[in-house]
Amino acid sequence: MRFPATLYSELCTALLADASREACAVAFARHDPATGSWVVAEAASVPEDAYERRDAISAVLKAAFVVEVANRARHDGLSIVVVHTHPQTKGFPAFSEEDDRGEAQLAQYFTRRAGGGKHLALVIGPEGCRARLLGGAEEISVWEVGANLALRSEAPLDSGDVSAHDRQVRAFGAPGQQLLRSLRIGVVGAGGTGSVLLQQLAHLGIQDFTLVEPDTVELTNLNRLVGAGPDDVGRPKVVVAARMIRHINPKARISALERDVADADVPPHLAALDFLFICTDSHASRAVVGQLAYQHLVPAIDMGVSITVGQEGVTHITGRVQMLAPGLPCLTCTGALNGEQIRRELLSPEQRAADPYVQGIYEPQPAVVSINSTMSSLAVTMFLGAVTPVPAGARFQMYDGVRGTVRLTTATRVESCIVCSAAGAMARAGSWPLPVRQAGRGRG
């Protein structure tokens, strides 16, 4: 279950304000059976007049209020999250026998009245929370997604041997290392920046990778494609990347998709993951993954590199690293996307040939491994700041290679943005369309 920042924290503050009595709230979420995730769209404390009774060990809601909740869920096709507190609990709370009895009745009622969606129960204490299927025993992890990706519930983390990562454990602790080992990471683009980034993630101890890249290795890629050699020309880049990862970490789990992320059937593979990296210069692919980050509450880091060459040589070396998550401006807000370029990249070859506005021939851009590596390293450090105790607070950085500077950048979110606001794709999950290429249109 994923809450957009700062909804979970604000809900906890409101519910735990009175430590003498249990309190309740109701959240509505969009459940995606394909990914097994719940994206929380809204949550609010129960009004005082909706309680039948409320004391230090229990809270019971009036039947009329429960009916309203069920009707809303059925009308909007949402899953219900029934929330209550155990305000005196130390550590992570546990569901009580009274919770079990009450949930069994609610689960039966909501199944009949609110439709066939899967509903959840969430119990919150001062030091954490625990969630499960309503009326069941299956536990669900709870995440708050924003400038930081925070696990709020007690969940089993990868407890394997971390001795090989002793030096970084000394930096952010064994729990931070265990969390890294437990995260499912998606990387879109396995070229110049993507290959460097994958190498660093593998060294950090990431165990679960999903790679998305449609292209094969070309001779001109070898100056910057980490892990590739002359014998790899003609091989899929995802195959070369997977080989490099396994050379560093033989136990890594890798799903390698030799596909374009802009094709409609590819993004669902990413919506089930925990963190994404966008390592592509395609505007269409960045638009797809950038919107998915807000729509499915899967945080992403996008990076770009540009080398400008004039008559007298290199004039500009610039780079950008930007995290995309609730509360942070998206690529549309910061003007990083070109709408016309997105349209062109989503055309099939036949459509492109017939389009009078598509002119000229693609001209390869300058690329240097050291500059790609600089941007990938900034992205990985930003990622560490978002998921571990590493105090790296930057979420938007600009690099000037000529001046040798990295500048922290601020940007303003557009309140009515179609991508990152509640008026647009935010927390819509599968109920909102992504800007993808439909089946049968081919890769542009």
CB neighbours (10 Å) of residue 32? 17
Provide the β-strand partners of residue 11. Answer: none
User: For the chain, where do the domains classified as CATH 3.40.50.720 start and end?
Assistant: 164-431
- Predicted pLDDT of residue 443: 44
Query: Which residues make beta-bridge pairs with 308?
Result: 316
pLDDT in tens, 79-89: 999 999 999 99
Coil vs helix vs strand at 296: coil
Q: What is the pLDDT of residue 442?
A: 46
The class that CATH gives domain 2-151 is alpha beta
Residue 197 backbone dihedrals phi, psi, to 5 degrees: -60, -45
Higher pLDDT, 44 or 281: 44
pLDDT at position 289, please? Answer: 98
- Find where tokens 């990622």 sit: 383
The pLDDT tens digits for 221-279 are 999 999 999 999 999 999 999 999 999 999 999 999 999 999 999 999 999 999 999 99
- Tens digit of each residue's pLDDT (9 = 90 or more) over 207-225: 999 999 999 999 999 999 9
Question: Side chain identity at 102, as an amino acid letter?
Answer: G
Q: Which spans in 18-165 are helix H?
A: 63-76, 97-113
State residue 158's pLDDT score. 63
* The predicted structure's pLDDT at residue 355: 63
In the structure, what pLDDT confidence band is assigned to residue 156 with cuts at 50, 70 and 90? Answer: low
Mean pLDDT calculated for residue range 424-438: 94
pLDDT tens profile 345-390? 988 666 666 665 555 555 688 999 999 999 999 999 999 999 999 9
pLDDT digits (tens, 9 = 90+) for 27-44: 999 999 888 999 999 999
The pLDDT score that the predictor gives to residue 344 is: 86
Considering only the C-alpha atoms of the chain, give the largest distance between any 2 of them, rounded to a whole number of Å. 79
CA-based nearest residue to 278, from 269, 287, 163: 287
Q: What share of the chain is helix, strand, coil (3-state, %, to 5)?
A: 35, 25, 40
Burial class (CB in 10 A: 0-12, 13-18, 19+), 56: exposed
Contact 408, 326 (CB under 8 A): no
Residues of the chain with CATH 3.40.140.10: 2-151
Q: Can you give the pLDDT at residue 154?
A: 87
Residue 174 buriedness (CB in 10 A; 0-12 / 13-18 / 19+): middle
- Rounded percentage of the chain residues whose pLDDT exceeds 90: 86
- Asked whether 285 and 261 are in contact (CB, 8 A), the reply is yes
Cα distances (angstroms) measured from residue 427 to each of 108, 295, 396: 27, 5, 22
Q: What is the mean pLDDT of the chain?
A: 93
Quick one: pLDDT at residue 438? 81
Percent of the chain with pLDDT over 70: 93
Indicate the pLDDT class of residue 161, thresholds 50, 70 and 90. Answer: confident
CATH of domain 164-431: 3.40.50.720
Look at residue 170 and tell me whether its pLDDT is greater than 50: yes
Cα angle, residue 294 at apex, residues 293 and 296 outer, rounded to 5°: 75
> Strands (DSSP E) along 217-299, which ranges?
253-257, 275-278
Q: Tens of pLDDT along 101-131?
A: 999 999 999 999 997 789 999 999 999 999 9
To 5 degrees, how large is the angle CA 100–CA 106–CA 109?
145
